[in-house]
Chain A
Amino acid sequence: MVAIIDYGMGNVASVQKAIRFLKIDCCITSDFSVIEGSTHIILPGVGAFYQGMKNLKERGLIELLSNEVLRKKKKFMGICLGMQLLAEKGFESCESDGLGWVKGEVVRLDPKSKIIPHMGWNNIEVRNDTFFKGIPNNDFYFIHSYHFVPESPDIIAATVNYELEYVASIQHDNIFATQFHPEKSQNSGLAVLKSFLTHA
Chain B
Amino acid sequence: MLKVRIIPILTFNGFGLVKTKKFSNPRMVGNPVQAAKVYNSRGVDELVFVDIFASRQNRKINLKLVGDVIKECYMPVGIGGGIASISDIKDLLKIGADKVVIKTKALTDVNFIKEAVGFFGSQCITISVDAIKKEGRYMIHNTLGLSIGFDEFIKKMEECEVGEFVLNSVDNDGMMSGFDIELIEYVSENTKIPIIAAGGGGELGHYSDLFTKTSIGAVGSASIFHFTQFTPHDIKMELASKGFPVRI
Q: Looking across the interface, which residue of chain B has its beta carbon closest to that of A184?
A: B76
A137 to chain B, nearest CB (A): 8
Q: Is B96 an interface residue (CB 8 A)?
A: yes
B193 touches A17 (CB 8 A): no
Asked whether, in the complex, the Cβ of A161 is within 8 Å of the Cβ of B122, the reply is: no
> Are the CB atoms of B45 and A120 closer together than 8 Å?
yes
The answer to whether B123 touches A145, judged by C-beta atoms less than 8 angstroms apart, is yes
- Residue of A with least CB distance to B95: A13
Least distance between A33 CB and chain B CB atoms (Å)? 24
B8 within 8 A of A: no
- Taking chain A's interface residues, is the majority helix, strand, or loop, or is none over half, making it mixed? mixed
Contact between B122 and A114, CB atoms less than 8 A apart: no
* The residue from B5, B71, B98, B192 contacting A121, defined by CB atoms under 8 A apart: B5
* Interface check A7, CB cutoff 8 A: no
Query: Do A17 and B96 touch (CB < 8 A)?
Result: yes
Tell me the smallest distance from the CB of B46 to a CB of chain A, in Å. Answer: 8
Q: Is the interface of B mostly helix, strand, loop or mixed?
A: loop
* Minimum CB–CB distance for B94 against chain A, Å: 7
Interface assignment of B3: CB less than 8 Å from any CB of chain A:
yes
Interface residue B121 (Cβ < 8 Å from any Cβ of A): yes
| Residue of B whose beta carbon sits closest to that of A13 | B96
- In the bound complex, do residue A115 and residue B194 qualify as a contact, i.e. CB atoms below 8 Å apart? yes
Q: Does A116 contact B (CB under 8 A)?
A: yes
Q: What residues on A are CB-neighbors of B1 within 8 Å?
A: 122-123, 161
The CA of A183 and the CA of B45, in the complex, are separated in Å by: 13
CA distance A172 to B126 in the complex (A): 35
Alpha-carbon distance between A143 and B121 when the two chains are bound, in angstroms: 11
The residues of A that contact B75 with a CB separation of less than 8 Å are 141, 184-186
Chain B residues within an 8 Å CB radius of A11: 93, 96-98
Could you say which of A47, A145, A162, A185 contacts B120, with CB atoms under 8 Å apart? A47
User: B15 to chain A: which residues have CB within 8 Å?
Assistant: none
Q: Which residues of A contact B218 (CB under 8 A)?
A: 120
A187 to B192, CA, bound (A): 31
Closest 7 CB pairs of A and B: A47-B121, A121-B3, A13-B96, A121-B247, A139-B247, A143-B123, A122-B2
10 more A-B residue pairs beyond the given contacts A46-B120, A47-B124, with a C-beta to C-beta distance below 8 A: A13-B93, A13-B95, A21-B74, A48-B121, A119-B163, A120-B2, A120-B46, A122-B3, A184-B74, A187-B43
